Amino acid sequence: MFSTLFQRGRNKAELNSAMRYEDLTKAFAELRPGFSPQEAVTEASLCIKCEDAPCAKACPAGIDVSKFIRQIALRNFTGAIKVIKENNILAGICARICPQSLLCEGQCNSSELSKPIKIGRLQRFAADQEMAKGPKPLRSLREKAIRVAVVVSGPDR
């Protein structure tokens, strides 16, 4: 449906009538539900709290994974998002698009006992808890010695 909305020759009125709020909401709905507070605390409590946490080493964003999980287990949801945002201001987005099964969850030592901790869903939970309280202004992260390029694209007309 949405691929036909942006074909050449469609006028603005047609696009506006075709893109109803309900359609957009349905098209961009979450594929998996997030954790409830109790589910998040239960999942975080399964963490074995490794001293030399391989999950944190596997995180390309440099998040202290074991620390934010510990905050959730203690029901300190605000503290959890603060830990995440020390290195990653896009916590909610990264929680949804990062391939955790290949990175942090793939290195989780709990998997040797049963299953790896659902780190991505816990990060999403912390970010969703913050968003439920209302948006916060972004702050600058400390400068790092790496460069990042942002490539964007838009309509050709």
First to last CA, the chain: 21
Does the pLDDT at position 5 exceed 50? no
Summarised one tens digit per residue, pLDDT across range 78-96 is 999 999 999 988 899 999 9
pLDDT of 118: 94
Enumerate the H helices of 86-150 as residue ranges. Answer: 91-97, 104-107, 119-132
The alpha carbon torsion through 93, 78, 140, 49 (nearest 10 deg) reads -80
Residue type, 80: A
66 against 10, higher pLDDT: 66
Does the pLDDT at position 41 exceed 90? yes
Measure the CA–CA gap between 53 and 114, rounded to whole angstroms: 17
Given pLDDT bands bounded at 50, 70 and 90, which one contains residue 147? confident
CB 72 within 8 A of CB 122: yes
Mean pLDDT of all residues in 105-125: 89
Of 92, 94, 96, the residue nearest 135 (C-alpha): 92
Measure the CA–CA gap between 151 and 142, rounded to whole angstroms: 22
Mean pLDDT of all residues in 61-80: 95
List, in order of start, the domains of the chain with CATH numbers: 1-30 (no CATH), 37-132 (1.10.1060.10)
Range of weakest confidence among 53-57, 129-133, 142-146: 142-146
Mean pLDDT of all residues in 57-61: 92
Measure the CA–CA gap between 142 and 157, rounded to whole angstroms: 38
pLDDT of 1: 44
